[in-house]
Structure 1
């Protein structure tokens, strides 16, 4: 079953020049890029994207981090792309992410107040539909 997912190359990945490598890995896995756009996230967009975290202690540092620079927003499509990209990304913590994953190969813990872990991928069909609607309302 073909599905779509939202993938974000977060500001740390864009700043470090890793967008091309991350796109390469997505395409090498066989997924189709439906939309790719370099965006400056706004507080309004981020409050929608991270609505389930509003009020939590890490919310403000997370929003600050996501506004530090541009984010590469991607919609990718393919069979089981949601699960497949999350596997490709690796676990949330780059220190424990497996070698061969984006976070395992390219990420590390910088000792900052919020984990800068290069990428975001939707975790379900429901969140994918909601997140794509936020970042790409015309799709």
Structure 2
């Protein structure tokens, strides 16, 4: 298992519903290490850069309107297999189809207003991280709990 970083956005609905602390707690409880964190307002230009593959699709205007409607919390977490771990924790895109115990399954009811974004592959994670964070904003540090989260050969 390789150590990975992945981008997470806590979307405007998560911020407005004051769920950021609960979601961050779940990520940390799982053993993922936060290596970057900030709050920002996604502009139309930033949305178009992030969702470049969707810009020409019919649903894009609604997606852009939602992601630019309020502040988001952007973060990078690190851990073994972090991309898939976060995807599994998030649940299906449509919250109504997400299993209980997932973030979307526990806190959401919508397909579009769905609380959280996580990179869908290690390649997407690299691209998305570069959109939201400058290299100097990403911190590398030793966690005093690391040996209690994973065996040495899993890091």
- Judge same fold: TM > 0.5, yes or no: yes
So what's the TM-score if we normalise by structure 2? 0.85
Unpaired stretches in structure 2, ≥5 consecutive residues: 139-155
More helix by percentage: 2
Alpha-carbon displacement from aligned partner over 1:66-105 (angstroms, at most 9, x marks no partner): 1110000010000000000000000111001000000000
**Pairing 1:1-139 to 2, within 5 Å after superposition:** 1-109=2-110, 115-138=112-135, 139=138
Equivalent position SS for 2:31 = coil
Question: So what's the TM-score if we normalise by structure 1?
Answer: 0.95
* Superposition deviation, residue 43 in structure 1: 1.0
Note the C-alpha offset of 1:44.
Answer: 1.1
Structure 1: unaligned runs, 5 residues or longer: none
Structure 1: 4+ residue segments shifted above 3 A: none
TM-superposition CA deviations, 1:7-37 (whole Å, max 9, x none):
0000001000000000000001100000110
- How many residues align? The count is 135
